[in-house]
Amino acid sequence: MFEVLPHTADVGLRVTADTLGALFEDAGRGFFSLIVEQLSEVHPREQKQFELSGHDVEYLFFDWLNELLFAFEREQLLFSEFRVSIDSGGLRATARGEQLDHTRHHLTHEIKAITYHGLKVVRTPNGWLAEVIVDI
């Protein structure tokens, strides 16, 4: 589950999930819901693999969102489905989606950067919680 948080000049994202992998998957969906109005209109036609090394979950979360932003900016890829596994060495993920099609995809925000401001990834009694502010 994810929710968009109001922020003065930026936008925040809060994500909760039972597992760390699910947290990163939901963060991917939440991230792209900030970019495209109807995430359900992004079809899983292509897939891209991601591998990130690291053991600090906050930095890994930050790097994950940065990789997704880079894929969008460089390749114009929108993703709507994610499969993420995390272990002590880092993250392995498959993201599925398609090329941006301006005739079908209405963009809502231009994301400039992921920020460290307010970044947190913590284990809770119910699973995991992450919060991040993105610069729009």
**More confident position, 117 or 124:** 124
- Asked whether the beta carbons of 64 and 48 are under 8 A apart, the reply is no
Q: What is the pLDDT of residue 5?
A: 63
Domains of the chain by start residue, with CATH: 2-135 (3.55.10.10)
Tens of pLDDT, residue by residue over 100-111, are 999 999 999 899
CB atoms within 10 A of CB 60: 19
Please state the φ and ψ torsions of residue 24, each to the nearest 5 degrees: -70, -35
Please state the pTM of the whole predicted model. 0.92
Buried b (16+ CB within 10 A) or exposed e, 89-100: ebbebebbbbeb
